[in-house]
Amino acid sequence: MHGFTAWLHQLQFGWLSDMLLIVLASLLCIPIHETCHGLAAYRLGDPTAKRMHRLSFNPLHHIDWLGLLSMFLCGFGWAKAVPVDMRYFKNPKAGMALTALAGPASNFLLALAALFFASLIGGLPAAALNGFLVWLFYFLLRTAILSIGLGLFNLVPIPPLDGSKILFSFLPERAYYTLMRYERFGMLLLLVIVWLDLGGSYLSNAIGVVYQRMAGLFF
């Protein structure tokens, strides 16, 4: 029994803590992203998300558990898409673009808020810090990084990511609606790109640059 206890003490549980931070940060970043899509659509006249009870920050209303597991294991995941009916918009293309933009914009604002509160903790005297505050500090930093990554990733102009809806809004009507009809096939292209890690280094570098710029505002 003593040998088993000694073996347990030798184990490194740092990776468990890191994974817990990622999951908890995801449960914050993803619902905010999706809810802001729904709120934007609602403000523009589309009540679909409200009727389906998706205007909520409750993670259970937005989390796709397979997508969360994928993010946990592979660094790439997805959530339940907020339903949007563009027929309610006075200007359908512009309405879709603004609704799409609301998600990434919310992630960047969340990252700024997380870094601000992290800077408050970082400014405390060492004597005032305890285990929870240290954990919260790293949770806020992880949230900022993940939120920036989620925002930038969704701005990639490949359907069904938000960036495609923003970019497509500048196309002529006929081309726009043709591409929107086939956007579900973009998911296959997206999975291939992620699987082959094409452009992964560019995204990582972009996340690093944005994170450093934002952190420089507070630290």
Residues annotated as part of the active site: 34
Task: Say if CB 37 and CB 82 are below 8 A apart.
Answer: yes
- 84: closest CA among 72, 97, 65? 97
Q: How many CB atoms lie within 10 A of CB 79?
A: 22
Task: Say if CB 80 and CB 62 are below 8 A apart.
Answer: yes
- 154: closest CA among 196, 117, 186? 186
Q: Is the peptide bond prior to 125 cis by the omega test (within 30 degrees of 0)?
A: no
**Sign of the CA dihedral with 152 first, then 23, 15, and 131 last:** positive
Cα–Cα distance measured from residue 106 to residue 104, given in angstroms and rounded to the nearest whole number: 5
